[in-house]
Amino acid sequence: MNNYTEDANLEGLALRLFDKGKQLSLRFMRFGSLDDLEKAIEHKTKSILITPEGHPAKAERLHSLGASHYRRFQCLGNAEDLHKDIKYSAQAVALTPEDHSERHNRLGGLGTSYYERFMLLDDLKDLDMAIDYETQAYLITPENHSDWHERISNLGASYYQRFLRLGDLSDLNRAIEYASRVCSLTPKDDPDQPERFGRLGASYHARFNRLGDLNDLEKSLKHHIQAHELTSENSPDYPSRLSNISVLYHERFNHLGDLADLDNAIKYELQSHSLTPENHPDLAEQLSHLGAAYNGRFKCLRSLSDLNKAIEFSLQAISLTPEGHPGFPRRLSHLSTTYYERFICLGNLSDLNKAIEKRLQAHSLTPKDHPDLAIRLGSLGAAYHERFMHSENIDDLQKAIEYKQMALEATPERHPHRYKRLANIGTSYYERYMCQSNLTDLDKAIEYHHQALSFTPEGHPSLPTQLSTLSTSYHQKYLRLGSVDFLNQALNYLRQASGCLGATPRIRLDAALDWARLAIGQNMPQELNHLQAYQTEMELIPEVIWLGITVEERYAALELLNNVVNKASSAAIQDCRYELALEWLEQGRCIVWNQILALRTPLDELRIAHPSIAYQLQGIRDELHRASLQVFDPQGHVNDSELLESVVQRHHRLATQHAALVLQVRQIPGFESFLRPRPAPELVLAARTGPVVVINIHNTSCDALIIRPGDTQVYYLELPYLTDQRVYSMRTRVELSLEQRGPGRETKRRPMLSEPDSPSQQDFKQILVTLWNNLASPILNFLGYLTVKAPNDLPHITWCMTGPLTFLPLHAAGYYDRPHSKLSDYVVSSYTPTLSAILSSTLSSVDHTSILAIGQETTPGLSNLPGTARELEHIKDHSGNFVMYQQLTGNHATLKTVLDGMVLNDWVHLACHAHQNPTDPRKSGFFLHDGILDLSAIMDKSFKGKGLAFLSACQTATGDKKLADEAIHLASGMLIAGYPSVIATMWAVGDSDAPFIADKVYGKLLEGGRMKSHGVARALHHAVEELRKEIGDDQFERWALFIHIGL
């Protein structure tokens, strides 16, 4: 009796403890107090300790205690709670009869706990147990039960995770099957529906990564977007929904090459990042995704800003990831890729060594049965290959082949990335052939490249790379064995590569460059010959120097082209295709200026024919023009990264829309040539006031193309004694001579005068002689101009220079110790950056009546310019009463007053310090009292009907040596801004010489009571002749710097 009473009392206590524990659990579920959960676990644990074995409530109490430990794990993340949950839940399942109504619930809960432990500790046995228990739960759960949908969903999630871990496609197909069923059966308003759509999207994404079927990618994106749309912005899951969409857009870009997808990837991930708390466990993955997306865009657009962001975000991701985390190897791999790309871009070996170090670490942390093992091995192989290319250490190449071979062996036959593995091995065998000349290696390279090509999907962005590498191997085989069939195959593959529309323009251009290089000098059919290759190059250059990237990025891209246009034009000249050479030289000069000019081309004819399209195009052009002139400063904004990125992406979209509208306009009858490069019959019209001479400088030959007024023919003159090396040498010598001369308007001091017989003077003198003998004299002879005429009867020549010749004073060429032996004895010289600059400029038919003169004798923070006062006094004196003369000096010459004055007046004279920005010419400008009046502000006014811009400042026509053909200087900027006639300086102007030249120029131009816009070149010619007489012929540096540009 006593034993019975004691047992009863214990049972009563156990029941009370359990009931109290359940109440505390419910209160925790309602109010979230962790103290309630702690007490619930304490009460339930005590209850179980005094519940005897075999008691009918034992299973329920064990299950309940396990559930409480699971909830505490969810709150605190302590693995010990998860271990206890599994321990108690497993005991509960073992004690639950087969026909018990709660058996399916306890099986399902135990399966979920094993799943969570796998996600935490990455032990595959836990995942197998999860699938086992979830399958049992699913099979015995009635279809009308409220938990049935959850059973299907959980089972699908576990199969998905096992696929990710082992790569068994049958697991993934089961995951998709279960996820699809549960999504179709779940009402849209069910709170679990977003999560289920997300899981279905993730499963389709995984199958896409495995099989490469774009339909799977589209389904994945669709379902993730559905999950996003069904998720409240206040939901803690909202950032992850955005991140999932970002990853899919990135994937689609990788396979279709559409930049809009990559922009969307960055946009969604930045939004996700901005909404994620700093201590959130998803933050590291988001940062890793951001780094990968920016790295992808860098590879597409080659913007160092994108690469720097990629490295920054990848480093942040690593810093937030513990070494034992399952995502750590992948994030290391992403970081290594950014270092690898920076090495490819900048050539710093430390970056490549960092890439190898991180890839070795990622590989060591990747299990042998992990699906990403092939990626890790392949990346290591690529890094060792690249280090071999730098060091020529054969051990690095051997390691590259070994790792690449292992990567291939770890890649399933049907895997969508198998083509990469094959191509990578082929590349290394090719390099080993180049190193050791073993023909077997070359044959292996060709074999692997052919296999890679057969696995590469049609239209894939990597297709031109596969074609190009195969071409390289065939070309080597041609060189080794001499069979022209191998050469034909090499050229054909390059032709195909250059025409792959879905690929990055830079890769296609590289293929065209290789095609031209291999084809030149060969007797090839028309479709494979070098001129066809060069034509393809010229068509691709505007896509590489894309309107959708910043001006600075466009100039950086131009630096990489390295005389491409001059080489193509030289080849056309050698083939007697002079009109074609003229067209190519025009297309390849001042590309960025011409893009800006094209955005201001009038749409009058289109507006009459199709006003709606003209309206759309004008709106986009105006926005693009503003985007080109805009300098973004995110300071003061709450979310700088998102705001800056939105500006970048808006620029991309505008350029894409502009290109689409231009194509649409070209479909309209009569507008087929809309905004296309000018053909030769139009270009020859540039010879308005006299011949125009275009000189091409290249290492194969130096040649002159000449056009004459009223003549449609393009004439050719070989310059056999002029070489590119000689021109480069003369440019360097001129620079050295000017350095020895001393400063000009940049300091208070006047320029030091060179001694007549000083080495620098003698060298400058010899340069002018060389220019006369090898260039000027042969051209004058060809034109029949070697006849002395009166100064007012001298013919006019406009020179269009290329390469280093743009830095030499050709107009001053000649002997200065012999009569009738210098260029200025026979012609008046002008320059133009392009023929289009002349064709697009018009001198007003209405007489000009007003001049704006700006003089800054003193400028805050800069040296004084005492000569400016005298300079403006000369202009004022010549203006008299018949010219409206406005003068702004000192503190009256502000940004606003000067710009307003330029709007009101026909001519402008700027006597001040100048600022030249070589990386972004729009930021070049003139120092005024309150800042720099830059070209972007001037060009924003879209001046029309203007006349002369006299830039009486230092080096206003000095360009960038690295981009000589881009005419990156203030003079060409003023020409583009709407001033058809510009006087400028090639180097520093003397503070006493500038007033003299101004006096003589305006004395001629304002002679007779009229402003003569058509006589600027002759007026400057006369002024320089007078200065030369005043100071002496041998003071070359003081008088040869003044030039006229334009009409």
In SS3 terms, 400-435 reads as: HHHHHHHHHHCCCCCCCCHHHHHHHHHHHHHHHHHH
| Mean residue pLDDT across the chain | 90
Within 10 A of 79 (CB to CB), how many other CB atoms are there? Answer: 12
* Distance, CA of 561 to CA of 510 (rounded, Å): 10
Cα distance between residue 505 and residue 493, in whole Å: 16
Q: How confident is the model at residue 492 (pLDDT cuts 50, 70, 90)?
A: very high
CA distance 413 to 379: 19
Q: Is the pLDDT of residue 752 over 60?
A: no
Mean per-residue pLDDT for 809-816?
97
Token pair recorded at residue 437? 């000349």
User: From 1.10.645.10, 1.25.40.10, 3.90.600.10, 3.10.580.10, which CATH number describes the 274-367 domain?
Assistant: 1.25.40.10
Q: What is the pLDDT confidence band of residue 643, given thresholds at 50, 70 and 90?
A: confident
How many Å apart are CA 499 and CA 61, to the nearest integer?
71
Mean pLDDT value of segment 19-36: 89
The pair of three-digit structure tokens given for residue 1012, joined into one six-digit string:
């003569």
Mean pLDDT, range 858-879, rounded to an integer: 91
Average pLDDT for 949-967 = 86
Distance CA 969, CA 952 (A): 14
Is the predicted pLDDT of residue 747 greater than 60, yes or no? no
1001: CB partners within 8 A, 6+ apart: 950, 983, 1016, 1019, 1020, 1022, 1023
Task: Report the percentage of the chain scoring pLDDT > 90.
Answer: 68
- CATH dotted code for 837-1046: 3.40.50.1460
Band of pLDDT at residue 737, cut at 50, 70 and 90: confident
Q: Which two tokens mark 200?
A: 């279905």
Least confident of 113-122, 432-441, 781-790, 958-967: 958-967
User: Which of 854, 901, 896, 895 is CA-nearest to residue 876?
Assistant: 854
The b-or-e profile of 468-495 (16+ CB within 10 A means b, else e) is: bbbbbbbbbbbeeeeeeebbbbbbbbbb
If one compares 189 and 299, the residue with the highest pLDDT of the two is 299
731 CB neighbour count, 10 Å cutoff: 19
pLDDT category at 741 given cuts 50, 70, 90 is low
Residues 951-989 as b or e (16 or more Cβ within 10 Å = b): bbbbbbbbbbeebbbbbbbbbbbbbbbbbbbbbbbbbbb
| Local confidence band at 816 (pLDDT 50, 70, 90 cut-offs) | very high
Using the predicted structure, report yes or no on whether residue 918 has a pLDDT greater than 50. Answer: yes
Q: Identify whether the C-beta of residue 207 lies closer than 8 Å to the C-beta of residue 172.
A: yes
Q: Which residue has the tokens 């180097």?
A: 987
pLDDT of 940 > 50? The answer is: yes
Helix (H, G, I), strand (E, B) or coil at 814: strand
- pLDDT-derived band of residue 861, with 50, 70 and 90 as boundaries? confident
Coil, strand or helix: which one is 704?
A: strand
Using pLDDT thresholds of 50, 70 and 90, give the confidence band for residue 748. very low
pLDDT (average), residues 228-254 = 94
| Poorest-pLDDT segment among 462-471, 500-509, 912-921 | 912-921
pLDDT band for position 745 (cuts 50, 70, 90): very low
pLDDT of residue 742: 53
Q: In which residue are the tokens 């009473």 written?
A: 5
Q: Is 109 exposed, middle or buried (0-12, 13-18, 19+ CB in 10 A)?
A: buried
- % pLDDT > 70, the chain: 96
Q: What is the 3-state secondary structure (H, E, C) of 677-688?
A: CCCHHHHHHHCC
DSSP 8-state symbol, 755: P
Provide the b/e sequence for 402-422 (b: ≥16 CB within 10 Å): ebbbbbbebbeeebbbbbbbb
What pLDDT was estimated at residue 634? 39
Q: What is the mean pLDDT of residues 327-355?
A: 94
CB 956 within 8 A of CB 935: no
Please determine whether the domains at 102-233 and 837-1046 fall in the same fold group of CATH: no
- pLDDT band with cut points at 50, 70 and 90 for residue 370: confident
- Whether the predicted pLDDT of 514 surpasses 60: yes
Q: Minimal CA–CA distance to 919: which of 598, 553, 630, 520?
A: 553
Which of the four pLDDT bands, split at 50, 70 and 90, describes residue 746?
very low
Given a cut of 50, is residue 871 above it in pLDDT? yes
Sheet holding 925-928, edge to edge: 914-915, 925-928, 931-934
- In 3-state terms the chain splits into helix, strand, coil percentages (rounded to 5) of 65, 5, 30
In the predicted structure, residue 3 carries a pLDDT above the cut 70: no
- The pLDDT of 24-37, averaged and rounded, is 88
Strands 914-915 and 884-889: unpaired
Mean pLDDT value across residues 400-427: 93
Is it the case that residue 757 has pLDDT exceeding 60? no
Q: The CATH number of 102-233 is which of 1.25.40.10, 1.40.20.10, 3.20.20.80, 1.20.120.160?
A: 1.25.40.10
Lookup: tokens for 548: 């959708």
Q: Which amino acid is at 1006?
A: L
**pLDDT value at 517 more than 50:** yes
Is residue 1 pLDDT above 70, yes or no?
no
Higher pLDDT, 144 or 675: 675
Q: Which tens digit of pLDDT belongs to each residue from 140-162?
A: 998 888 888 889 889 999 999 99
User: What pLDDT score was predicted for residue 820?
Assistant: 92
Q: Higher model confidence: residue 1018 or residue 255?
A: 1018
State the DSSP H helix or E strand holding residue 338, giving kind and residue range, or none if neither: helix 328-346
Give Cβ neighbours of residue 840 (< 8 Å, ≥ 6 apart): 597, 601
Domains of the chain, residue spans: 1-95, 102-233, 274-367, 377-411+418-435, 683-836, 837-1046
Largest CA distance in the chain: 144
Domain over 1-95 is classified CATH 1.25.40: yes
pLDDT at 633: 45
CA distance 214 to 930: 58
The two tokens of residue 342 are 């920076």
Distance of alpha carbon 647 from alpha carbon 632, whole angstroms? 8
Q: E strands within 616-755?
A: 692-697, 702-707, 715-718
- The DSSP-derived string for 989-1013 is PPTTHHHHHHHHHHHHHTGGGSB-G
The residue that leads in pLDDT, 106 or 32, is: 106
Tokens of 574: 């050698």
Q: What's the rounded mean pLDDT across residues 1007-1036? A: 93
485-490: long-range pairs with CB below 8 Å, 24+: 487/518, 487/522, 488/524, 488/528, 490/518
pLDDT number for residue 710:
94
- H helix runs in 347-410, sequence order: 349-364, 373-391, 394-409
pLDDT confidence tier of residue 8, bands split at 50, 70 and 90: low
Q: How far is CA 644 from the centre of its chain?
A: 15
Question: Which of 41, 48, 54 shows the shortest CA–CA distance to 13?
Answer: 48
State how beta strands 692-697 and 702-707 pair.
antiparallel
First to last CA, the chain: 124
Mean of pLDDT values over 260-265:
94
Say if residues 43 and 18 touch (Cβ distance below 8 Å).
yes
The tokens describing 31, both together, are: 């109010």
Q: Exposure of 611 by Cβ count < 10 A (0-12 exposed, 13-18 middle, 19+ buried)?
A: exposed
Q: Does residue 35 carry a pLDDT above 50? A: yes
User: How would DSSP label each residue in 120-155?
Assistant: HH--HHHHHHHHHHHHHHHHHS-TTSTTHHHHHHHH
Chain centre distance of CA 158: 41
What pLDDT shows up at residue 792? 87
Q: How many residues does the chain have?
A: 1047
How many of the other CB atoms lie within 10 Å of CB of 623? 17
Is 674's pLDDT higher than 60? yes
